[in-house]
A and B are shown apart, each in its own frame.
Chain A
Amino acid sequence: MSAPSAGGASRDGYGSALLKLSSDPRVVVLEADLGKSTKSCLFRAEYPERTVSLGIAEQNMMLVAAGMASSGKIPFASTFAIFTERAFEQVRNGIARPGLPVHICGSHGGIHTGTDGSSAQSIEDLAIYRTIPGLTVITPSDDISAEELTIQLLDHSNASYTRTARNKTPRMYDTESVKELRIGKGSILRGGDDVAIIACGVMVSEAMEAASTLADSGIDACVIDMHTIKPLDTKLLDEIRMKCGGIVTAEDHSIIGGLGSAVAEYMSSVGGFPVQMVGVDDRFGESGSSSDLMESLGLTRDEIVERARGLLNSR
């Protein structure tokens, strides 16, 4: 694993993936005004005839995508994460229920979105989409993995929701290591037997920093990029359960229903295991820079370190 390097935002990876997918004529892109933000504009610029603008009307967009999928197309429909939520029932009833392979991308997910304030900061998207049967839920950690996981959706028969981030995060992968990624398989970024830090999205780089800090005090933490929240890689969780003393989850999302909940649900189903969740503690965000907001809501490497130490001390 090479050291993290500066990268782009995961939404950039989504945009570049669409371009790479364009060689398949079945691929179509749907927009609800925010193509410049979600980065689907990159596809539109090259393939306007395969891009459909639906205006600021997300509910319509989801069902137009479903109709296109039923007619043999592979639609990629994107808007802000928060505005996909407006069309939750359309995703549930119109896309997932008939099993149509529509791939939804919600950009600007999480508190990390920053200065736009709480109306734009989706902190419940992973939770709500996780409840829909058969829907794959993905939240990549950097631009390069976002590109790879989006490309893999081409051959993914289920409908999916991918959350991307507005702002840049350190790159966790390089062009070689990213090829090892698979939808539905957690990625081990760092080995360690004392405690496991399972993170997703923009919190993966924080988890890596936390593991370094823990190592300085002799605590050996493994770090998992759990980019796929559903289906959850329970095989990997079983391995962690056998070797580690506890799990700290870290996500830019409500602690209700997201990655932490998914991990805790599984762990309770196999007899219980110590899990500490770092995430948004049942509150809305506000305006501010990403870093100020993450700090004020406790979405930090320091919080992960503290929770890990607490877990080990309580054993």
Chain B
Amino acid sequence: MEGDVGHHDLSISELENLSNDCRKHIVRMIHKAGAGHPGGSLSAIDIIVALYGTRLRFDSSNPDWGDRDRFVMSKGHASPAVYSILHEMGFLSESDLSTFRTLGSVCQGHVDMKWTDGVDFSAGSLGMGLSFGLGCAIAARMDSSSRETWVMVGDGELQEGQVWEAMMAANFHEVSGLKMIVDRNRIQNDDFVNVQMEVGDVASKISSFGWNVKEIDGHDMGEIVDALKWASDQGTGPSAIVAHTTKGKGISFMEDNPSFHGKAPSDEELSLALEELS
């Protein structure tokens, strides 16, 4: 897939297979590093795979191509999900993945545009990515470019007020090139979101800020692909997809389990995980 600047057009089954491969990368990377965030990587990966596999225009042989679409991973702790797809799309080698979280690695603990080709934002502090994406999208409009900016935020992240500042501004400035995906996996660092600070009916809230909003099952590849196209097709105002997901999706003992927000699998857990993904 290297050097391809057009949209990819992977089939649903190809996307599903790619997701499965990425899940294996994710658990291997985190296991090897002995640290990382499997839960939120696994909840997000189906959407990220569909985005790279059907929508984003990029060129892995020219990562800084100015007119590429942008992907802003605001929930930057789910970096293994991003690194796994960047590997599959030709930006990173398998050996790059194996250096995750080690000194000098291009795979920093949280995604960082300064360190990694193909990464468009330096995340790690929640709440900032939508604002950054808004800046990218306003710049694209000033350049009369049709490039799109896609931002993924977590649902716990919606507790940060800055996200709502950005939503208000995106609507006010009618920035249709900005597309947001909410990974609504219902779990944050300490516990379930509704225990820590419930964010409630996310779709209604975003809609009340003037955005186009669609809710989907964030693990149904057909629904994801359709929703991404729907968001692309919205020519007026910013658009959001609220994706209902399962934290740790695909690995039974990690699913809906807050303790796997930020914990590496043991040797035994890795074997079990890879068995389930085979």
Contacts and interface: CB of A to CB of B under 8 A. Distances in A.
Interface of A: 28, 49-50, 52, 54-55, 57, 59-73, 75, 89-90, 93-94, 97-99
Given A59-B162, A98-B114, A72 B139 contact: yes
A73 B70 CA distance: 15
B80 interface: no
A99 B134 CA distance: 18
Contacts of A55: 165, 168-169, 172
A72 B66 contact: yes
Interface stretch (B13-21, B46-54, B117-125, B206-214): B117-125
Given A59-B162, A64-B131, A97 B114 contact: yes
Contacts of B169: 54-55, 57, 60, 64
Contacts of A52: 138, 173
B136 A68 contact: yes
B135 interface: yes
A71 B114 CA distance: 14
**A contact patch SS:** helix
A93 B135 contact: no
A254 B114 CA distance: 34
Contact of B128 (A57, A69, A70, A90): A90
Nearest to A60: B165
A70 B120 contact: yes
Contacts of A59: 127-128, 131, 161-162, 165
Nearest to A56: B165
B142 interface: yes
Given A71-B135, A90-B128, A93-B124, 4 more contacts: A55-B169, A63-B162, A68-B139, A99-B114
A58 B272 CA distance: 47
Contacts of A50: 142
B133 interface: yes
